[in-house]
């Protein structure tokens, strides 16, 4: 696996009697675009704050970009867009970015260039000198995104980055994530919009009750297919035979379902059915979406941890 940008072991956070994060062990490789998925209250935002050093763990530990969690200097290489980006709304966008740039230690001439370039990148060049209280929600999200990218970060935490954005804004976020990936940065994406995650991430982790319950490489997910077959007489012998072509073969009502790795298995299945004299009425396949994975992994109980 790639060198770790994030590596946590047994991370736990309790608030009084409430366990927000139970046992987070997670490894994200450098340069990965990583999705962090889970139902509301699963401990996603607290996990993210633990990694950023905004919250101290009750137990466990880890590293971010090779430094222990909460180390101050490493934060210069980390960008962060909080879920509900709040700001000093009496400032203009340019002033806000200057403020955050100074806190990052970016010097004046370089800061001005970087600030202007980012404002142009997020489409706020002309609104740069307006105070933030006059901004729409989408504009605020864009300036928040610019703020997260100000220090040319090696690792970017984006907590619901497309919240409040219109379709064009969502495309912008997707493009920026692609640019970060191309530049070798690691992106840790926390989002409820599974379509966005599916379109941008290399790998996802499903978190439930404050612990990672499943990890999924999206390239693998996209290569797998769910197959649905309608035949005249489905029996155990048929299921056993179909198991040679894939996994998880089962009877579901009058249908046979199984999962195959590649599309080229489909004609082979059809040929095999014909060769054994089975009447084939229907053979359908489709890719399992991330949403279906989510529902399957999370199950019925999606309550907070």
Partner 1 sequence: MRGTLTIARLTWLEARRRKIALAAVVCGLVFLAVFATAAFFAHRSVAQGVVDLVGQRIMFQMLLQVGLYVVNFLVVACAVLLSVDTLSGEISSGVIQTLASKPIDRAAIVLGKCFTHWLMTGAYLMLMALGVMLSVWAAAGIFPPHVPIALLFMWLGATVMLAVTMLGGTRLTTIANGIVAFALYGIAFIGGWVEHIATVLRNDAVRHVGTTISLVSPADAMYRRAVHELQPSGALDVQLTPFTPLSVPSGAMIVWTLAFVLVTLLLAIRTFRHRAL
Contact footprint for partner 1 (CB under 8 A): 15, 49, 52-56, 72-76, 78, 80, 82, 84-88, 90-91, 95, 99-100, 102-105, 131, 144, 147
Nearest C-alpha neighbor of 105 from the set 135, 77, 64, 142: 77
N-terminal to C-terminal alpha carbon distance within the chain: 30
What is the smallest separation between the CB atom of 258 and partner 1, expressed in angstroms? 47
Tokens (6 digits) for 140: 């605020």
Q: CB nearer to partner 1: give 21 or 231.
A: 21
Q: CB nearer to partner 1: give 127 or 231.
A: 127
Please list, in sequence order, all residues whose beta carbon lies within 8 angstroms of the beta carbon of residue 264, skipping any fewer than 6 positions away. Answer: none
The answer to whether residues 120 and 53 touch, using CB atoms and an 8 Å cutoff, is: no
What is the smallest separation between the CB atom of 168 and partner 1, expressed in angstroms? 24
The answer to whether residues 101 and 128 touch, using CB atoms and an 8 Å cutoff, is: no
What's the chain's length in residues?
Answer: 305
Strands 203-208 and 33-37: parallel
Please list, in sequence order, all residues whose beta carbon lies within 8 angstroms of the beta carbon of residue 301, skipping any fewer than 6 positions away. Answer: none
Q: CB nearer to partner 1: give 147 or 200.
A: 147
Ramachandran angles phi, psi of 85, nearest 5°: -65, 110
Q: CB nearer to partner 1: give 53 or 246.
A: 53
User: Look-up: residue for tokens 């007489």?
Assistant: 233
What is the smallest separation between the CB atom of 105 and partner 1, expressed in angstroms? 7
Q: CB nearer to partner 1: give 17 or 86.
A: 86
What is the smallest separation between the CB atom of 151 and partner 1, expressed in angstroms? 8
**What stretch of H or E contains 138?**
helix 137-149
Nearest C-alpha neighbor of 74 from the set 151, 1, 161, 180: 151
Q: CB nearer to partner 1: give 56 or 220.
A: 56
What is the smallest separation between the CB atom of 52 and partner 1, expressed in angstroms? 5
What is the smallest separation between the CB atom of 218 and partner 1, expressed in angstroms? 28
């Amino acid at each position: 696996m790639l060198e770790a940008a994030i590596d946590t072991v047994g991370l736990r956070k309790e608030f009084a009697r409430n366990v927000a994060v139970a046992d987070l062990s997670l490894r994200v490789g450098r340069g990965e675009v990583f999705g962090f998925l889970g139902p509301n209250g699963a401990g996603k935002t607290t996990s993210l704050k633990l990694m950023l050093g905004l919250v101290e763990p009750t137990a466990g530990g880890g590293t971010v970009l090779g430094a222990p969690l909460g180390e101050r200097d490493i934060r210069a290489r980390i960008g962060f867009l909080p879920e509900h980006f709040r700001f000093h709304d009496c400032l203009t966008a340019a002033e806000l970015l200057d403020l955050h740039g100074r806190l990052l230690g970016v010097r004046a001439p370089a800061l001005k260039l970087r600030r202007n370039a980012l404002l142009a990148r997020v489409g706020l060049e002309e609104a740069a000198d307006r105070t933030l209280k006059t901004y729409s929600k989408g504009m605020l999200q864009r300036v928040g995104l610019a703020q997260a990218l100000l220090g040319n970060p090696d690792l970017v935490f984006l907590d619901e980055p497309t919240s409040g954005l219109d379709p064009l804004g969502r495309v912008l976020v997707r493009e920026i994530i692609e640019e970060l990936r191309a530049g070798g940065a690691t992106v840790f994406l926390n989002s409820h919009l599974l379509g966005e995650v599916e379109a941008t991430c290399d790998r996802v982790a499903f978190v439930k009750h404050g612990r990672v319950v499943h990890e999924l490489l999206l390239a693998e997910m996209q290569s797998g297919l769910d197959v649905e077959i309608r035949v005249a007489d489905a029996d155990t012998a048929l299921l056993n035979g179909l198991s040679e072509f894939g996994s998880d073969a089962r009877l579901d009502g009058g249908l046979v379902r199984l999962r195959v790795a590649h599309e080229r298995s489909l004609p082979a299945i059809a040929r095999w059915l014909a060769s054994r004299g089975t009447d084939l009425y229907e053979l359908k396949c489709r890719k399992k979406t991330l949403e279906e994975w989510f529902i399957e992994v999370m199950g019925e109980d999606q309550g907070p941890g």
